[in-house]
């Protein structure tokens, strides 16, 4: 078994073209370094929706990823201090609506301070298998049952078993990279 080598010579770093800073700092400076590093990871922009007690709730997220295809499962991360956390904490189901290129407005809408009724009054939506809202103009929709939840630091991670998938015929994708939106087709 190989062991992890933690020391790297200055010449090896210079040859790699990377600037490397060991990360163990949890101060404000360390948190900012982490955030700046994460801004360099491109991610699809999604609106995560649910229906609880007959009321729709939704938020914008890039912290979404596949976990496994047997059974088809994805994960979604939500800050526990979010205004929608209470609704999602009660939810049994959710839908991951992957936004299409050009849907920056929808992303901003579900990331805004608007009330949940105002957010949903501003978009066309329907429901699929679980009853969670599906945005009519999204490029992909993953209708899911929340299979388990794990608290990690400030966030709750939802592991979601996919029950149905919707997709647009002409799909494009809105991604977030380096703190800016980009459209892919």
CA–CA distance, 176 with 41 (Å, rounded to integer): 8
DSSP state of 32: H
Residues 145 and 73 sit within 8 Å (Cβ to Cβ):
no
Instruction: For residue 40, give the nearest of 23, 8, 62 by alpha carbon.
Output: 62
CA–CA distance, 159 with 142 (Å, rounded to integer): 13
Tens place of pLDDT per residue across the chain (185 aa): 455 555 555 556 556 666 656 666 566 666 777 777 766 677 899 999 999 999 999 999 999 999 999 999 999 999 999 999 999 999 999 999 999 999 999 999 999 999 999 999 999 999 999 999 999 999 999 999 999 999 999 999 999 999 999 998 877 999 998 888 999 88
CA–CA distance, 118 with 73 (Å, rounded to integer): 30
pTM of the model: 0.84
């Amino acid at each position: 078994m190989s062991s992890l080598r933690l020391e790297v010579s200055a010449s090896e770093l210079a040859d790699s073209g990377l600037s490397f800073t060991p990360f163990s700092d949890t101060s404000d400076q360390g948190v900012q370094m982490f955030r700046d590093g994460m801004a360099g990871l491109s991610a699809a922009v999604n609106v995560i929706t649910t229906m609880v007690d007959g009321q729709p709730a939704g938020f914008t997220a890039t912290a979404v990823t596949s976990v496994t295809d047997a059974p088809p499962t994805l994960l979604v991360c939500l800050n526990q201090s979010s205004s929608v956390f209470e609704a999602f904490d009660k939810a049994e189901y959710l839908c991951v609506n992957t936004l299409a290129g050009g849907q920056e407005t929808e992303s901003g809408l579900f990331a805004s301070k608007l009330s949940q009724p105002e957010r949903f009054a501003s978009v066309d939506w329907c429901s699929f298998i679980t009853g969670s809202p599906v945005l009519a103009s999204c490029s992909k929709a993953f209708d899911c049952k929340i299979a388990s939840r794990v608290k990690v630091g400030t966030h709750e991670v939802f592991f979601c078993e996919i029950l149905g998938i919707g997709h647009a015929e002409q799909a494009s994708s809105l991604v977030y990279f380096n703190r800016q939106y980009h459209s892919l087709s």
